[in-house]
């Protein structure tokens, strides 16, 4: 191995080592402070990000617990709402049934009253029709039996009866 001599078959390695050491020394001399500041800033940024992430994780964990508690309460509230809805529904159903029964009884009473009134009107119509029919039948029978001589006798008797009634109604005069 050739450290310092320049030969054509093997270049000297010693000069390369010295050259490299000078390069690294200059690099450390000129770049050490800015690199140190950059690494310190990077470390501070990473630590800040870690602390922010830890804070966010703690906040997310507390919110997760809060939401789990809310979800547990929501399920209880849903069950309570279902239970109260069933109670209110049963109460409303009972109220509607009661109102429907009251309405049905009013309808039955109104229907009975209307039926009674209609029955009375029908009975009155039937009586009128029966009286008309009876009068017509009696009139036809009288006309069939009444002769002109009987008619004259009846008219004379009626006139006499009216005259007697008129004389009874007129005041008596003293002569």
Q: Does 150 map to a domain?
A: no
Any domain includes 89: yes
Q: What is the 3-state secondary structure (H, E, C) of 110-168?
A: HHHHHHHHHHHHHHHHHHHHHHHHHHHHHHHHHHHHCCHHHHHHHHHHHHHHHHHHHHH
Query: What tens digit of pLDDT does each residue of 63-112 get?
Result: 999 999 888 888 888 888 999 999 999 999 999 999 999 999 999 999 99
3-51: pLDDT as tens digits: 777 677 777 788 888 999 999 999 889 988 988 899 999 999 999 999 9
State the total domains in the chain.
1
Look at residue 175 and tell me if it is in a domain: no
- Tell me, yes or no, whether 157 lies in a domain: no
Per DSSP, 72 falls in state H
Let me know if residue 49 belongs to a domain: yes
Does 105 fall in a domain?
yes
Supply the range of the domain harboring residue 96: 14-145
**Residue 166: inside a domain:** no
Q: Is 90 inside a domain boundary?
A: yes
């Amino acid at each position: 191995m050739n450290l310092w001599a320049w030969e054509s078959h093997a270049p000297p390695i010693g000069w390369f080592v010295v050259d490299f050491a000078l390069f690294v020394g200059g690099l450390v001399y000129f770049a050490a402070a800015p690199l140190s500041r950059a690494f310190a800033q990077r470390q501070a940024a990473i630590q800040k990000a870690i602390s922010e992430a830890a804070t966010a994780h703690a906040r997310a964990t507390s919110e997760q617990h809060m939401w789990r508690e809310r979800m547990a309460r929501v399920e209880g509230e849903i069950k309570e709402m279902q239970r109260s809805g069933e109670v209110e529904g049963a109460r409303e159903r009972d109220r509607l049934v009661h109102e429907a029964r009251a309405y049905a009884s009013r309808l039955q009473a109104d229907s009975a009253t209307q039926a009674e009134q209609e029955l009375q009107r029908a009975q009155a119509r039937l009586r009128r029709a029966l009286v008309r029919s009876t009068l017509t039948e009696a009139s036809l029978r009288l006309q069939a039996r009444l002769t002109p001589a009987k008619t004259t006798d009846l008219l004379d008797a009626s006139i006499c009866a009216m005259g007697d009634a008129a004389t009874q109604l007129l005041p008596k005069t003293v002569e």
